[in-house]
Amino acid sequence: MGVLSNGTTNLPGQADKDFWFCLKAQPKREHLAAAGLRKQFNVVCFAPRLRARKLTKRGAVWFVEAMFPGYFFAQFDYATQRRAVEHAPGVRGLVKFGDRLATIDAPTIEGLRRRMEANETVTIDPEIKVGQEVQIAHGPFLGLEALVTQLLPASERVRVLLEFLGRSVQMEVSKATLIQRRLPAIS
């Protein structure tokens, strides 16, 4: 992350796309603020999101959340568009360190963008492996924790070992009914 002085003359012009500004958004409105800036002011924005399954009372549900909660990135001409960007709906302002603006170099953002799907999301749907701790997300065993003991060939099923009524029981379940207890780190 680079930093620029607020009053310097080396702020980007329309043709200078060497870095992105970091913007603070209203809670849970990062993608809406970015969409508004794109539509209203033709500002290039990047608001990456994560899509993952989480266990709820209804079972496993897909959730989409901001990769950087409360923040997103934008490229714009600081001299002519700063006020419009800072006062756009959903935007709280530019991120600053004292009197310096927080910037991110373009190759860093482009590296992130290459890993994204078309709608700026990354789906976290990790592969289930033998020995992994999982939680059953659908059916009569909803919420029970189990250990994957075998991946069954030519099917989307696995054999799991779970504690039920005081004993260890092996059973076959669909992979779609399981969620991992811990999500892996994004590499």
Dihedral angle, C-alpha 51, 54, 22, 18, nearest 10 °: -30
Q: At what angle do helices 78-86 and 30-41 cross, to 10 degrees?
A: 130
Query: What is the fold of 2-124?
Result: Alpha-Beta Plaits (3.30.70)
What topology does CATH give the domain 133-180? SH3 type barrels. (2.30.30)
Over residues 60-74, the pLDDT tens digits come to 788 899 999 999 999
What pLDDT was estimated at residue 94? 97
Q: Do the Cβ atoms of 95 and 23 come closer than 8 Å?
A: yes
- Indicate whether 146 pLDDT > 90: yes
Q: pLDDT tens-digit profile of 123-137?
A: 887 788 899 999 988
Which has more pLDDT, 86 or 117? 86
The 10s digit of each residue's pLDDT in 50-60 is 988 777 777 77
Q: Can you give the residue ranges of every domain in the chain?
A: 2-124, 133-180
Token pair listed for 182: 């811990």
Q: For residues 42-47, give the mean pLDDT.
A: 96
SS3 68: coil
Question: pLDDT, tens digit, for every residue of 3-35?
Answer: 444 444 345 443 357 899 999 999 999 999 999
The tokens describing 81, both together, are 């568009």
Per-residue pLDDT tens digits for 106-116: 999 999 999 88
CA 184 vs CA 55, 127, 132, 136, 180: distances in Å: 16, 10, 12, 18, 9
Band of the pLDDT at 105, cuts 50, 70, 90? Answer: very high
Task: Say yes or no to pLDDT of 102 above 80.
Answer: yes
pLDDT of 138 above 90? no
Q: What is the pLDDT of residue 107?
A: 95
Q: Does 179 or 46 have the greater pLDDT score?
A: 46
Residue type, 48: P
pLDDT of residue 16: 53
Query: What's residue 165's pLDDT?
Result: 85
Phi, psi for 15 (deg, rounded to 5): -85, -15
pLDDT band at 183 (very low <50, low <70, confident <90, very high): low
Element (H, E) at 171: strand 167-174
CB contact set of 129 (below 8 Å; sequence gap of 6+): 148, 151
User: 């701790």: which residue's tokens?
Assistant: 133
Q: Which amino acid is at 73?
A: F
